[in-house]
Amino acid sequence: MAHVHFSSAQRRLTGGVADVKVEAETVRELLCRLETMFPGIRAHLDQTSASAVAIDGDIIPDATYEPVPPGAEIHFITPLAGG
């Protein structure tokens, strides 16, 4: 099972849940399972995390079909803005 961590901004969509364990073989499957658990989260993650997903500390752009190893630590990277 992958261990998915949510940022404080993402937690508003999880009812305050900071992390969950999810069984998934790809990031796409992971997103589908998260959507079942937290309706509406997939659209938010697709919009705000489109740039990258971190899997075991490796930041991977366009990770939709990236495999999720058993026991992986997953973070959806929210782009930063500023100047």
Average confidence (pLDDT) over 43-56:
78
pTM of the model: 0.87
- Reply yes or no on whether the pLDDT at 48 is more than 90: no
The answer to whether 55 touches 69, Cβ cutoff 8 Å, is yes
CA distance 20 to 38: 11
Alpha-carbon distance 25 to 83, whole Å? 38
One-letter amino acid of 26: T
Residue ranges of domains in the chain, CATH in brackets? 2-77 (3.10.20.30)
CA distances (Å), 46 to each of 50, 65, 71, in order?
Answer: 5, 13, 23
Q: How far apart are CA 50 and CA 21, in angstroms?
A: 21
pLDDT in tens, 16-47: 999 999 999 999 999 999 999 999 998 888 77
